[in-house]
Each structure stands twice: as C-alpha cells, then as structure tokens.
A and B are shown apart, each in its own frame.
Chain A
Amino acid sequence: DGGITQSPKYLFRKEGQNVTLSCEQNLNHDAMYWYRQDPGQGLRLIYYSQIVNDFQKGDIAEGYSVSREKKESFPLTVTSAQKNPTAFYLCASSIQGGRGYTFGSGTRLTVV
C-alpha cells in the first residue's frame, strides 16, 4: 500500500538537544511538507520541498532544519534554537502542483 510514514509516534527531548523526525513516502510524490500543530490550533507550515535537493522556509521555520536528499524522504530536525518545540508534527506529500495532500499519522514531541 502506498502511503506516508512518520516515526517515531512519540518523542521526548531534553532541553538543549537536537532531535530528528522521520518522514518517508512511497507515493512517488514530488512535494513534501512539514507542519506544526498546537492544541486546539490549525496547522502552521514549517518547511516544504517541491523537488529533491531543494526546500523553502514556511511561516515558522526558525529553530528547524530539513533536508531532501531523496524523493522519498524529508526529515525534520528540531534544534535547540527552537524555544517551544512541544507540539504535534505532521508531514504531508502531494503531486507537483498540489491538489490534495496525503498526511502521515504525526509525531508528538515533548520536551522534558
């Protein structure tokens, strides 16, 4: 079955640590996206990538970094510079030019 997989489902980070969230898709989608969701809130765009080896900042990129070395993979690193990283992180993918997005099941990151 084609889909998009995020791992891990739950992640705990100590203050000052960097952590990397995984996102893999086998849908052959060109575009991939990372969103952050806070309780009772909508989705805010962190980074997106339209093509391999290229990515763009979204609305809240500060404290985050990404890479797109393979079409299937778009990992997100939450750095120590992100002051309030506790949130639910969602990865999505789509064909080039949009239409509907396919979402992963999310990673819940908690700073302890």
Chain B
Amino acid sequence: EIVLTQSPGTLSLSPGARATLSCRASQSVTSNYLAWYQQKPGQAPRLLIYGASRRATGIPDRFSGSGSGTDFTLTISRVEPEDFAVYYCQQYGSSPYTFGQGTRLEIK
C-alpha cells in the first residue's frame, strides 16, 4: 500500500499569498496518477487536479499541480478567501487508492 504524507499539516497564510502544499509518496506513483481535492466544512470533497498537473473542469487557473514519481506539489498562486479549506492528495495508480492525511489552509 502506498502511504502519502502531506506537509505541512497546517498552513497559515493571508489572502493574496502563495500557497505551496506537498505530498510525498512512500513509493513511486504509477503514471503520476496523483489527484488533489479541496474539502470545506460540511461539504463533500471537490476534485481540483488529476494526473499530477491537469486541472479538473471549472477549476480556476490559480490552482496548479506539479511533480512526478514520489514528490508532488499543489500551488495556489494567490490565495482567495474561498480557498481556505482542507486539501487532500490521492494516488490512484495502485490499489488501494490511498489519500494523504490532509493539509489545512487557514487564514493568518
């Protein structure tokens, strides 16, 4: 089973700042099948990025994904007030398709 470790656990930023979230895999992710989700309180997760760097439909271009192999990054170029949430990475290259433990992006 691939273990995904996200860092930091909590990221405190002001609106307009750049956010960099990390996801590290315990072994190489097949075909870079790595996704990022955003979850707000009381809501289901929303897919942001898949295939490590492809934005899902309707996702603003301030969200970008990068990385390959075992190290992946989600970047929010300028954080908007509605971006404060919890972010999860998920690998879907090897079953079970595990999630990371999440990074909370909070207002500074």
Report whether chain A binds chain B.
no
Which residues on A are within 8 Å of B, measured CB to CB? none
What is the interface of chain B, defined by CB distance below 8 A to chain A? none
